[in-house]
């Protein structure tokens, strides 16, 4: 009987987490788990409205070659915590082990030139972020990140 209980206790828990914010809290049961903890990337999509003509036009597009980075990538700081490219379908999910206790995580995006798309001057407005590039140029950014937490 005790083997059955031990077997049940060692079965990993899997839980999906979807976010559209740059800083997101992990669920407490994941953060404080004594088991090994993994973050798998299910999907990440980013949409950008870079229209200089009219703020009223919501002409969002999915740019190619936008990389997503996050501080939950603890073993690859040399690559600026690169996770994967957004708006791409991967045949196999990327999986990252959390090496230390972490209550929340931060994500950021970079374009092909390495320019950070979501710097400190972002403002959350409804369901998107607004990035003021110049007084006449505002960039709207929307994204959705879906993770599978295994612990």
- Tell whether 5 is covered by a domain: no
pLDDT of residue 5: 60
- What pLDDT, on the 0 to 100 scale, is given for residue 58? 65
Assess if residue 80 is contained within a domain.
yes
Domain presence at residue 117: yes
- Does residue 1 fall inside a structural domain? no
Domain region containing 48: 14-150
Edge-to-edge strand list for the sheet holding 67-70: 23-25, 104-110, 67-70, 82-85
What local confidence, expressed as pLDDT, does residue 6 receive? 60
| pLDDT at site 127 | 84
d(CA 122, CA 125): 9
Rounded Cα gap, residues 141 and 83, in angstroms? 19
User: What is the model's pTM?
Assistant: 0.84
Structure tokens at 50: 């870079």
pLDDT tens-place values along the chain, 151 residues long? 556 566 556 788 999 999 999 999 999 999 999 999 999 999 999 998 876 655 555 678 888 899 999 999 988 777 789 999 999 999 999 999 999 999 999 999 998 888 888 666 788 888 888 887 778 778 889 999 999 999 9
Using CA atoms, how far apart are residues 56 and 22, in angstroms rounded to an integer? 24
Total domains in the chain come to 1
Residue 7 within a domain: no
Q: Is residue 70 part of a domain?
A: yes
**Of residues 75, 86, 1, 77, the one with CA closest to residue 38:** 75
Q: What is the largest CA-CA distance in the chain?
A: 70
Residue pair 105/41 in contact (Cβ under 8 Å)? The answer is no
């Amino acid at each position: 009987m005790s083997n059955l209980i031990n077997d049940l206790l060692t079965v990993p828990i899997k839980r999906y987490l979807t976010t559209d914010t740059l800083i997101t809290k992990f669920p407490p049961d994941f953060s404080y788990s004594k088991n090994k903890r993994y973050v798998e990337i299910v999907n990440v999509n980013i949409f950008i409205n870079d229209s200089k003509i009219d703020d009223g036009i919501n002409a969002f597009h999915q740019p190619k070659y936008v990389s997503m980075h996050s501080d939950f990538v603890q073993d690859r700081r040399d690559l600026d915590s690169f996770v994967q490219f957004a708006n791409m379908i991967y045949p196999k999910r990327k999986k990252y082990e959390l090496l230390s206790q972490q209550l929340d995580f931060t994500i950021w995006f970079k374009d092909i030139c390495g320019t950070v798309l979501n710097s400190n001057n972002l403002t959350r407005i409804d369901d998107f972020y607004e990035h003021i590039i110049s007084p006449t140029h505002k960039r709207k950014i929307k994204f959705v990140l879906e993770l599978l937490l295994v612990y």
